[in-house]
Structure 1
Amino acid sequence: MAAPVYPFTVRSRDVWAIALPASIAFITEPLAGIIDIAIIGRLGDAGMLGGLVLGTLLFDALFSLAYFLRIGTAGLTAQAIGARDPRDGLLHAARALLLAVLIGLFMIALGGPIHALAAALLAPPPSAAPALEIYFFVRIWSAPFSLVNYALLGWFYGRAAARTGMMLQILIHGVNVALSLLFVYGFGWGIVGAALGTVLGNAAAALLGLVLLLRHFGGIGTVLAAIVPAELLDGTALRRMFALSRDLMIRSAALMGAYGYFAAMGSRSGEIVLSANAVLLNLMMVASFFLDGLAQAAEQLVGKSVGARFRPAFDRAYVLSMRWGLVIAGGLFAFWVLGGGLIIDLMTTNEAVRAHARDFLWVAALMALTGMPAFVYDGILVGATLNVTMRNGMIAALALFLASAMVLEPLLGNTGLWLGLHVFFLARGAYYFLALERRRGALFPDPA
């Protein structure tokens, strides 16, 4: 019996219907970090700012290990939608949510050892270490909420419900910013206030997201009736999920390993270099999340085409994603070069940090161009669930980054460290292009 094929058309407006709200949503993530840094940075205490910077990086790294809950769920859900799953990927969402709660509670239980290991690896300056410790032990309570949000966002974006995903992410960071301002300036809670705002922002979004998921299926009774325990715990489905999760976790660990090495080398150069690099890295994250919005569109459309077994839709999504990626990357580079100095001044009042960040603005701005292919390919590979390709490409790119940074940083100082990141992005893009060209035909076997 021939496998069913479900044809559909992919147009630029289909890409932007997902990419635009996703970009708006994703931009709130680095903006929230920028505002947290600005809130603490304007207190004028470089040590406190450095502790916040390292704490933010630590949680980015920690939570990235569970980022498969978002990107894995999105890819699996998109394929389910393409294959006309009558339950809209409910089982994928249920498995991810259960795993999110378990991992979040496990992170809280291991808070002490995690902090000790992080402090040893990041080597915070003496002035920043107390702030890092305070921030960590408050924000760690956000772990279950943050990971539940990953699973929910994966399900919403996998269904192309990009506006709902946008609303939830804006809620996370809107509540965070508002409460951080209140707690830091209104109540004088300093670093505790910034961390607590993040915890409550994630809790609010997790609660609303669960309500929206239940409403989509008609309430909790309908959801429980639709989840057959034998299907939820199906061995084949679980093995696929855990294989995907394992490879994406390794991929995320390699990615954060690159950022962690970058931050650690900056930390060893002193609090001025650490803080300046953090300001620029947050600006880079703004660019990356614009590109991630486009990657989200590629992920959903590619996943849908694979689930529908319709190669013309895959090829069109591939071409349009890359084409619009060039346009977005060029615009981001121009904006960064022209407006980056003003943003740096808004983020910190420390003149030494400002001056150092301006000196390296040009090399950081290039990330928009060198990183674009890697971000778009991330979306394509997630949609196609080519998790082994993603994992291997990230590991290879990390090795090249470390080798180049170890050579360039002693020769060129901080410039060499930034150039190493360019090598990292370019290597990922090249690896993914070559691997996908070899694998594309196998994604769409003969329907017969």
Structure 2
Amino acid sequence: MTQAPPTPKAVRRAHDREIIALAVPAFGALVAEPLFVMVDSAIVGHLGTAQLAGLAVASSLLLTAVSIFVFLAYATTAAVARRVGAGDLQSAIRQGMDGIWLAILLGAVTLAAVIPTAPAIVDLLGASDTAAPYAITYLRISALGIPAMLIVLAATGVLRGLQDTKTPLYVAIGGFAANAALNAGLVYGAGLGIAGSAWGTVLAQWAMAVAYLVVVVRGARRHHASLRPDAAGIRACAQAGAPLLVRTLSLRAILMIATAVAARLGDADIAAHQIIISLWNLLAFALDAIAIAGQAIIGRYLGAGDEQGARGACRRMVQWGIASGVVLGVLVVATSPLFLPLFTSDSAVQDVALPALIVVAVSVPVSGVVFVLDGVLMGAGDGPYLAWAMLLTLAVFAPVALLVPTLGGGLTALWLAMTLMMTVRLLTLWLRTRSGRWIVTGATR
């Protein structure tokens, strides 16, 4: 007896279950690194203003390094998910190990570069004479954790590709708890000051890396996958990640230009911009969780040769992105009277921030679709297109944003330029997904 095909409603429910199962744990894991910095800031802040200023400079460099190398997670997720879809778990884990070996190599090179150049880097960022020694101390010690941070990125990509976002969540929770305890104990209990905070973070990061490696190595042994470094595989991972690196650097350039323009508008504007960009980053974490689910799901469908399933999952995730954006936008508007006073009591800053905040709220549904389609194309391994699309977006955004101080409109005009940036991204991503050129089935692209 032939089984009836599933109804559209049943298909949507199946997609919903997959998206929720992957996105919810992914969101928890995404906030781990910012929470590390928040704990460090809270503990170091009680040591003094100079120590906190030094931490601010050093941590911004470390977070930048993590964001630049995030392609280790994204490219690995897509590649592993394809092989999972093709039913070749041994090859999937082997691909993941290549990504981890690349992370180790990049971490070692970055570590070797940061330690001797720490004073010059801190000076370049304009740290004061009182803050610079603390920034150098923190940066040099924390640099020892960079290889661990990159291993975590790559291993997270492996597990996401294997459709497992719960393990990264558990590791993130454990790492956060360990970081908080170690920082408090070493800074105050052992009396190491800001150096204790750096050592606590390094130890927590390496503990997370070891936890991930244990999970991946167990999987490799279970499926008889080689753990040895493979030059060809590592080179392939680097080539796959290069376009995503271009995409990430272009996005970082956009955010840096926005901050530089806000600084030129005045103290109230840059203060308000800092508040809004913090909220924007939080919204991005929520929306990126759906995108991460998209990377894993789309990669698996394409690896299995299921073109119809990939298209269906893409449509459903776009609906999720729109709905999530609408809900988040309404929440931003509803909570803005409570949100702004949490960050500043300066009425001038609040007056500047409020209209810009409304612009952000209205544009969140656009951002929701952008994040989802970005994740879909990453899952499809369509990195070269993402790189060119982001370069185009940068080319459109930069002149518009740089004209804001001349043409007027203040911070609201700047965030209208940011909305234009997201709209350009939406158009480029929508045209690509509509064309169907991203749909390449098989274990490899």
Query: What TM-score, normalized by structure 1, do the two folds share?
Result: 0.83
Given that residues 284 and 368 in structure 1 are in contact (C-alpha distance below 8 angstroms), is that contact kept between their aligned partners in structure 2?
no
Given that residues 265 and 410 in structure 2 are in contact (C-alpha distance below 8 angstroms), is that contact kept between their aligned partners in structure 1?
no
* SS of structure 1 residue aligned to 2:89: coil
User: Structure 1 residues 13-22 or 63-72, which shifts more?
Assistant: 63-72
Aligned residue in 2 for 1:20 = 24
Aligned residue in 2 for 1:80 = 83
The answer to whether 1:414 aligns with 2:411 is yes
The one-letter code matched in structure 2 to 1:27 is V
Between the aligned partners of 2:66 and 2:436, the Cα distance in structure 1 is: 30
Given that residues 55 and 135 in structure 1 are in contact (C-alpha distance below 8 angstroms), is that contact kept between their aligned partners in structure 2?
yes
Between the aligned partners of 1:275 and 1:88, the Cα distance in structure 2 is: 50
Aligned residue in 1 for 2:395 = 399
What is the percent sequence identity of the aligned residues?
26
Aligned residue in 2 for 1:214 = 217
Given that residues 303 and 383 in structure 1 are in contact (C-alpha distance below 8 angstroms), is that contact kept between their aligned partners in structure 2?
yes
Compared CA separation, residues 239 and 97, structure 1 to 2 (3 A): closer
Compared CA separation, residues 228 and 176, structure 1 to 2 (3 A): closer
Equivalent of 2:240 in 221, 240, 244: 244
Given that residues 86 and 300 in structure 2 are in contact (C-alpha distance below 8 angstroms), is that contact kept between their aligned partners in structure 1?
yes
The answer to whether 1:139 aligns with 2:139 is no
Equivalent of 2:279 in 265, 278, 283: 283
Aligned residue in 2 for 1:360 = 353
Highest RCO, 1 vs 2 (Cα 8 Å, sep ≥ 6): 1
The one-letter code matched in structure 2 to 1:255 is L
Shift of the alpha carbon at 1:165?
A: 1.6
* SS of structure 1 residue aligned to 2:381: coil
Between the aligned partners of 1:213 and 1:184, the Cα distance in structure 2 is: 33
**What CA deviation, in whole Å up to 9, does each residue of 1:252-275 have, x standing for no partner?**
111222223334445667877656
Shift of the alpha carbon at 1:286?
A: 1.5
* SS of structure 1 residue aligned to 2:256: helix
The one-letter code matched in structure 1 to 2:25 is P
Aligned residue in 1 for 2:100 = 97
Aligned residue in 2 for 1:227 = 226
Given that residues 397 and 420 in structure 2 are in contact (C-alpha distance below 8 angstroms), is that contact kept between their aligned partners in structure 1?
yes
The answer to whether 1:428 aligns with 2:425 is yes
The one-letter code matched in structure 1 to 2:330 is A
Between the aligned partners of 1:34 and 1:357, the Cα distance in structure 2 is: 23
Given that residues 57 and 260 in structure 1 are in contact (C-alpha distance below 8 angstroms), is that contact kept between their aligned partners in structure 2?
no
User: Structure 1 residues 360-369 or 262-271, which shifts more?
Assistant: 262-271
Between the aligned partners of 2:269 and 2:337, the Cα distance in structure 1 is: 16
Compared CA separation, residues 168 and 273, structure 1 to 2 (3 A): farther
Given that residues 118 and 136 in structure 2 are in contact (C-alpha distance below 8 angstroms), is that contact kept between their aligned partners in structure 1?
no
The one-letter code matched in structure 2 to 1:431 is T
Given that residues 123 and 268 in structure 1 are in contact (C-alpha distance below 8 angstroms), is that contact kept between their aligned partners in structure 2?
no
The answer to whether 1:173 aligns with 2:176 is yes
Equivalent of 1:201 in 196, 200, 204: 204
Give the alignment's Cα RMSD to 1 decimal. Answer: 3.4
**What CA deviation, in whole Å up to 9, does each residue of 1:20-50 have, x standing for no partner?**
11122223344444454555567784x6655
Given that residues 108 and 141 in structure 1 are in contact (C-alpha distance below 8 angstroms), is that contact kept between their aligned partners in structure 2?
yes
Between the aligned partners of 2:109 and 2:77, the Cα distance in structure 1 is: 24
Compared CA separation, residues 194 and 61, structure 1 to 2 (3 A): same
